[in-house]
C-alpha cells in the first residue's frame, strides 16, 4: 500500500506578551519540525484518584497498545485543560533502555502542571534523565510513557505528539 500522506513541517510558536511600566518584555520563539507524517492527538479524562497513562512509546510502532515509535517522535505537548486544578505529570524514564517493548520504567520525573498549563518537549529518545546523588552526568535516557496523577479531582488532559 502506498501512503497518500505527504510529509509536512510542523510549525510551533511560543509567545509571551507582557508590558511592565511601559517596557515590552514579551518574546516570540518559533521552531520547525520537518518531515512530520504522523500525529497522535487526544483528550483524555483522568478520573479522580486514578493515575492515568496518557501516552507511551514503543521500540517500533505498536498498534496493539497505541505505542508510538520512540525513534520517530520529534515533538510532545501535554496540556492540562482543567480551569482550576493542577496535576502531577509523571515522565516515566527507561534508564536501562532495554528496548524490550514491555514496561521498563526505571525512574520518574514529576512536574506540577497547573490549571491551563502546558509541558512541551522534543524527541523522546535519549531525551531525559534524573539524578539523585548530586553528580553531574550527561547520559540521557528514553521516555517510556507519560502518566497523570490528578489527585482528588477528575481533569481533562490533551496530548499532542508529532513524529516522522
> Which grid coordinates are listed for 113?
502542571
> So what's the pLDDT on residue 101?
47
Q: For residue 70, give the DSSP letter.
A: G
> So what's the pLDDT on residue 55?
93
Q: What is the pTM of this model?
A: 0.89
Average pLDDT along the chain, 164 residues, taken 10 residues at a time: 91 98 98 97 98 89 72 97 98 77 73 98 92 75 96 98 96
Q: Are 161 and 93 in contact (CB under 8 A)?
A: no
> Which grid coordinates are listed for 153?
479531582
- Give the closest residue to 53 by CA, choosing from 151, 158, 149: 149
> So what's the pLDDT on residue 154?
98
The domain limits of the chain are: 37-163
- Determine phi and psi for 148, rounding to 5 degrees: -110, 125
Q: Please give the CATH number for the structural domain made up of 37-163.
A: 2.60.120.770
Classify 72 as helix, strand or coil.
Answer: helix
CA dihedral for 126, 127, 133, 136, sign (positive or negative): positive
Amino acid at each position: 500500500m502506498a501512503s497518500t500522506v505527504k510529509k509536512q513541517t510542523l510549525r510551533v510558536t511560543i509567545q509571551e506578551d507582557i508590558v511592565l511600566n511601559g517596557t515590552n518584555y514579551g518574546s516570540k520563539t518559533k521552531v520547525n519540525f520537518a518531515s512530520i507524517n504522523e500525529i497522535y492527538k487526544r483528550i483524555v479524562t483522568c478520573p479522580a484518584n486514578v493515575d492515568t497513562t496518557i501516552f507511551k512509546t514503543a521500540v517500533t510502532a505498536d498498534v496493539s497498545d497505541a505505542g508510538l515509535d520512540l525513534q520517530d517522535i520529534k515533538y510532545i505537548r501535554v496540556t492540562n485543560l482543567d480551569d482550576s486544578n493542577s496535576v502531577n505529570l509523571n515522565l516515566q524514564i527507561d534508564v536501562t533502555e532495554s528496548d524490550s517493548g514491555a514496561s521498563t520504567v526505571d525512574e520518574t520525573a514529576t512536574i506540577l502542571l497547573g490549571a491551563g498549563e502546558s509541558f512541551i518537549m522534543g524527541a523522546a529518545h535519549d531525551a531525559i534523565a534524573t539524578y539523585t546523588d548530586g553528580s553531574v552526568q550527561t547520559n540521557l535516557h528514553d521516555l517510556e510513557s507519560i502518566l497523570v496523577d490528578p489527585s482528588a479531582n477528575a481533569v481533562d488532559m490533551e496530548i499532542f505528539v508529532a513524529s516522522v
